[in-house]
């Protein structure tokens, strides 16, 4: 055995996904950390617990940097207990909570303390927090950064909740200037408010009408503006939930000239298609919207060529009544898709069909999000990192039954879909936290920007 650390646990798999790719390996764990990644048939210390996974794949635990937990304040929508249970059952070992939809929103240090106190005893996985940039809180950004938030979210148009207002262009520049001054990260819901105002308003049961109300141009224009601002200020920005594939060339060109911009997309944009959404099926409503099949193909092109860095859930649940299932009206239904527990199988099903590997999925859903947030202990099966793992049966299929989900509200756009890839178990810092969907007592920790 390399090193002198005592090995408590060894996980062996013929399909371990390491930074060198997928291969047979024995992963030795000492306490909460990975001690070494050894050959599959390496001689193991006699007193270590050995878990042989056979042909089940051993992945690093997923890192989901886009989760709306809504706790406290809208715990009837979700909550730290239910959200982190769902994460654990879905192979996600780290979440970063979004600053809005909870009350208070995370726009001051006091509010951050409220959120941390709320999450503390309920976290089944590790939990970090984004701060929020809203009108009038520029002076709060540095203290929030110092208190450990991973970056700051802002909107350029109405966020959906009144207590988290959007920034106008002058306020955006002020916030970004402040954040760049301390080397922070601004993460942006990028849709242009004027182009949304000019589009036909969403109303009624037809998905096509809703789609027309959130045109691609709104995303493209907002992203173009952000690129210009990031370039001018030499600031670091991240585009949340990219849906419009038209923006990919802009982003790729900006990167080539050295603009510090990263991008995420979400499982729903990559696996669900506008053409297949039934009338009145508001469980598919989110903003920006799920677009057409051709757009989805282009997004996969952006993943393949590296323009899109991360795939994260944007898990944004609400109570069922806010989804207007009685009328099917897309206009006033809550916009948000619940998928925290389903992201890995949803993505693996489609990735595999398109010829991608588990190593690709791990890069998009674990390594890159960990790098985005700046979590050096997460995101890879490598000596020294946290012993966070997802065990996936990659060839097994299941049909999504909302009742089997840990989300507080069992409304999901994936209901009834057959997905490939069953999460068998999840380990957090060397401890089994979910086994065949059954979670243990909370073992998560609250994370701060290192």
Please choose, out of 9-17, 212-220, 248-256, 313-321, the segment that lies near Zn ion by the rule CB under 5 A. Answer: 313-321
Residues 374-413 that bind Zn ion (CB under 5 A): none
The count of other CB atoms within 10 Å of the CB of residue 65 is 27
The residue number with the shortest CB distance to Zn ion is: 314
Residue placing its CB nearer to Zn ion in the complex, 309 or 314: 314
| Shortest distance, position 154 Cβ to Zn ion, whole Å | 12
Q: Is 314 in the site for Zn ion (CB under 5 A)?
A: yes
Residue placing its CB nearer to Zn ion in the complex, 28 or 187: 187
Please choose, out of 115-123, 159-167, 310-318, 427-435, the segment that lies near Zn ion by the rule CB under 5 A. Answer: 310-318
CA angle 386, 391, 396 (to 5 degrees): 160
Question: Contact, 349 vs 420, CB < 8 A?
Answer: yes
Token match 């999840």: residue? Answer: 426
Cα–Cα distance between 308 and 361 in angstroms, integer? 12
Question: Contact, 389 vs 61, CB < 8 A?
Answer: yes
Residue placing its CB nearer to Zn ion in the complex, 135 or 160: 160
Please choose, out of 27-35, 194-202, 242-250, 309-317, the segment that lies near Zn ion by the rule CB under 5 A. Answer: 309-317
CA angle 128, 133, 138 (to 5 degrees): 120
| Shortest distance, position 100 Cβ to Zn ion, whole Å | 8
Residue placing its CB nearer to Zn ion in the complex, 36 or 157: 157
Q: Is 71 in the site for Zn ion (CB under 5 A)?
A: no
| Shortest distance, position 196 Cβ to Zn ion, whole Å | 16
Peptide bond into 288 cis (omega under 30): yes
Residue placing its CB nearer to Zn ion in the complex, 314 or 360: 314
Residue placing its CB nearer to Zn ion in the complex, 99 or 421: 99
Residue placing its CB nearer to Zn ion in the complex, 28 or 365: 365
Cα–Cα distance between 271 and 395 in angstroms, integer? 18
| Shortest distance, position 104 Cβ to Zn ion, whole Å | 17
Tokens of 440: 């243990």
Q: Is 97 in the site for Zn ion (CB under 5 A)?
A: no
Using CA atoms, how far residue 342 sits from 10, 278, 349, in Å, is 27, 21, 11
Using CA atoms, how far residue 340 sits from 61, 184, 394, in Å, is 13, 26, 18
Q: How far is CA 28 from the centre of its chain?
A: 28
Peptide bond into 438 cis (omega under 30): no
Crossing angle for the helix pair 138-146 and 169-181, nearest 10 degrees?
Answer: 30
Residue placing its CB nearer to Zn ion in the complex, 71 or 314: 314
Cα–Cα distance between 39 and 25 in angstroms, integer? 5
Please choose, out of 192-200, 226-234, 298-306, 311-319, the segment that lies near Zn ion by the rule CB under 5 A. Answer: 311-319
| Shortest distance, position 86 Cβ to Zn ion, whole Å | 16
| Shortest distance, position 163 Cβ to Zn ion, whole Å | 15
Please choose, out of 1-9, 73-81, 307-315, 386-394, the segment that lies near Zn ion by the rule CB under 5 A. Answer: 307-315
Residue placing its CB nearer to Zn ion in the complex, 10 or 413: 413
| Shortest distance, position 339 Cβ to Zn ion, whole Å | 12
Please choose, out of 121-129, 143-151, 174-182, 306-314, the segment that lies near Zn ion by the rule CB under 5 A. Answer: 306-314
| Shortest distance, position 286 Cβ to Zn ion, whole Å | 8
Token match 């909550």: residue? Answer: 79
CA angle 415, 268, 335 (to 5 degrees): 85
Strand partners, 303: none
Cα–Cα distance between 447 and 450 in angstroms, integer? 8
Q: Is 22 in the site for Zn ion (CB under 5 A)?
A: no
Query: Which residues bind to Zn ion, rule: CB under 5 A?
Result: 314
């Amino acid at each position: 055995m390399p090193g002198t650390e005592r090995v408590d646990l060894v996980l062996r798999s013929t399909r371990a996904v390491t930074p060198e790719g997928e291969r047979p390996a024995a992963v030795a764990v000492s306490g909460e950390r990975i001690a070494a990644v050894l050959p599959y048939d390496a001689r193991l210390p006699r007193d270590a617990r050995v878990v042989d996974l056979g042909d089940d794949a051993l992945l690093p635990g997923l890192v989901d940097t886009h989760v709306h937990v809504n706790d406290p304040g809208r715990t009837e929508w979700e909550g730290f207990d239910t959200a982190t249970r769902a994460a654990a059952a879905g192979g996600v070992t780290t979440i970063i909570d979004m600053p809005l939809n909870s009350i208070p929103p995370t726009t001051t240090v006091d509010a951050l303390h409220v959120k941390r106190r709320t999450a503390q005893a309920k976290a089944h996985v590790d939990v970090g927090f984004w701060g929020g940039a809203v009108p009038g809180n520029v002076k709060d950004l540095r203290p929030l950064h110092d208190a450990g938030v991973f970056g700051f979210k802002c909107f350029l148009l109405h966020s959906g909740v009144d207590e988290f207002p959007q920034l106008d262009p002058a306020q955006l520049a002020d916030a970004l200037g402040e954040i760049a001054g301390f080397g922070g990260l601004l993460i942006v819901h990028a849709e242009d408010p004027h182009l949304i105002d000019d589009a036909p308003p969403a109303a009624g049961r037809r998905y096509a009408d809703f789609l027309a109300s959130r045109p691609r141009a709104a995303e493209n224009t907002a992203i173009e503006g952000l690129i210009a601002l990031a370039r001018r200020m030499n600031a670091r920005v991240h585009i949340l939930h990219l849906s419009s594939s038209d923006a990919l060339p802009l982003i790729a060109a900006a990167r080539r000239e050295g603009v510090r911009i990263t991008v995420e997309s979400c499982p729903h944009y990559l696996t669900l298609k506008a053409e297949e959404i039934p009338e009145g099926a508001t469980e598919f409503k989110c903003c920006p919207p799920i677009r057409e099949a051709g757009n989805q193909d282009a997004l996969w092109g952006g993943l393949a060529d590296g323009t899109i860095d991360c795939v994260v859930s944007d898990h944004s649940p609400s109570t069922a009544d806010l989804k207007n299932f009685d009328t099917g009206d897309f206009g006033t239904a809550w916009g948000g898709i619940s998928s925290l527990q389903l992201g890995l199988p949803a993505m693996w099903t489609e990735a595999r069909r398109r010829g991608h590997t588990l190593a690709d999925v791990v890069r998009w859903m674990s390594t890159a999000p960990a790098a985005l947030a700046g979590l050096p202990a997460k995101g890879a099966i490598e000596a020294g990192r946290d012993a966070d793992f997802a065990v996936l049966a990659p060839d097994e299929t299941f049909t999504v039954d909302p009742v089997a989900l840990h989300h507080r509200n069992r409304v999901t756009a994936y209901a009834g879909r057959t997905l490939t890839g069953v999460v068998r178990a999840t380990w957090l810092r060397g401890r089994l936290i979910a086994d065949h969907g059954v979670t243990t007592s909370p073992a998560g920790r609250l994370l701060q920007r290192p």
